[in-house]
Amino acid sequence: MTSGEDFQRDMRYVTTRITRDGADGYPVEAGRYRLIAARACPWANRAIIVRRLLGLEDAISMGLCGPTHDQRSWTFDLDPGGVDPVLGYERLQQAYFARFPDYPRGITVPAIVDVPTGELVTNDFAQMTQDLSTEWTDFHREGAPDLWPDALRDEMETVMKRVFTEVNNGVYRCGFAGSQEAYDAAYDRLWTALDWLEDRLATRRFLMGDSITEADVRLFTTLARFDPVYHGHFKCNRQKLSEMPVLWAYARDLFQTPGFGDTTDFLQIKRHYYVVHSDINPTQIVPKGPDLAGWLTPHHREELGGRPFGDGTPPGPVRPGEVVPVEASAAA
C-alpha cells in the first residue's frame, strides 16, 4: 500500500495456487496448509468467512495474528508466548522469507503457508478464496453453498470488479488521499458506487440474486468496517451505513447469517486502523463507539424472498478456539 496524492494499492502478490492438479507444486491436500489471517483486515476476513461457509476447518487450519503490526510484519501476539503453535513463528514475515529470502514487498494477510516447509504459498487474497470454492470441493462440508455459481460467473466478475475498485479499495483511496483534489475525486467515486449498490439491492436480497455468493462476502467486509472506521477515520462521511436504508438492512441480513457476524471482531477492527495508521491518527486513540446493537435488529430482507444458502445449509457452530469474544461482537 502506498500513499500520495492519489492512493495506489500495490497489487503484486505471490500468485502461486493450490489446485487439484498441483500445477504450481502445491496440490490440494487436507492438513497440509495453514491459513494465516487477522480478524482486523477486511481482505483476510474474506478468507475466514469463506473457510467457515464451506466447512474447511478440518482441511485447512487457521492461525490468527493480532490487530496491530509494525513496519516489518504481522505478529502472532495473540498466541501464548507470541508464537504460532503450528508454524513456530513469531512473525508472518518468517514464512515469506522461508520461501523468498529477499522478499521486497509488504507482509500481508491473508496468507496460506505450507506447514511441512514453513514456506508461504500465496497471499493473493482474491484468487485464494476463489480456489477455496472451486479447487477444494472434495473437502467442503455437506450442504456447503456454491459461492461461484457457473451461470452467474460473468456477471459476478463485473460486479466484483466494481465493488473492489470503487468500494473495497475506494474507502482507502479516500483515507490515504494526499491532496484535497484526490480526496474529493475519491469521495465522489465511492458514493457513486454506494448509491448504485443501494439501488441494486433494493429489489434483490443479495448482490447476485436470491443466494449468497463470493460477491456478498467481498462487499460485507467493507460494510462491517464502515461506521466503526471508514466513516470517520477515512473521511467517508456523507452518510453512515446505518443511514442508508437498503445497504444497512442488507449488511444486517448478512451479519445475522452464520459465517459473517460470528467472524467479525469490532474491537480488533478499530484497534488496527486507529493504532497502525498513525499518520492519519497520530494520537492512536481508539474511539469507543459506535453502538453495535443495531447489527442485531430485524432487517426484513426475507420479504424479498430467496434462500441465503441456496440448496445448501448454514454452517454449524463456530469451532472452539475460533469464537469471537463477546465483548468484541454486537452482542456485547
Q: 302 pLDDT exceeds 90? A: yes
Q: Which residues are catalytic?
A: 41, 172
What is the rounded distance in angstroms from the CA atom of residue 190 to the CA atom of residue 188? 5
Q: Which domains does the chain have, with CATH numbers?
A: 33-139 (3.40.30.10), 151-328 (1.20.1050.10)
Give strand pairing partners of 209: 206
* Average pLDDT estimate for 269-298: 96
Would you state the pLDDT for residue 3? 46
Helices (H) and strands (E) in the chain, counts: 9, 4
pLDDT band per the 50, 70, 90 thresholds, residue 330: confident
Q: 2 pLDDT exceeds 60? A: no
Of 157, 185, 159, 180, the residue nearest 170 (C-alpha): 185
**% of the chain with per-residue pLDDT over 70:** 98
* Average pLDDT estimate for 67-95: 95
Would you state the pLDDT for residue 4? 52
Please report which helix (H) or strand (E) contains residue 193, including its range: helix 180-200
Amino acid present at 117: T
pLDDT band per the 50, 70, 90 thresholds, residue 220: very high
Dihedral sign for Cα 260, 314, 112, 75, please: positive
Of 163, 213, 207, 217, the residue nearest 304 (C-alpha): 207
What is the rounded distance in angstroms from the CA atom of residue 225 to the CA atom of residue 236? 11
CB within 8 Å of 219: residues ≥ 6 apart:
163, 167, 168, 197, 207
pLDDT tens-digit readout, 259-281: 999 999 999 999 999 999 999 99
What is the rounded distance in angstroms from the CA atom of residue 204 to the CA atom of residue 326? 32
Q: 1 pLDDT exceeds 50? A: no
Q: 234 pLDDT exceeds 90? A: yes
* Average pLDDT estimate for 9-21: 93
* Average pLDDT estimate for 18-39: 98
Q: Which residue has the higher pLDDT, 328 or 246?
A: 246
Residue bearing cell 473495497: 168
Binding residues for glutathione: 74
Amino acid present at 322: E
pTM of the model: 0.97
CB within 8 Å of 153: residues ≥ 6 apart:
none
pLDDT band per the 50, 70, 90 thresholds, residue 331: confident
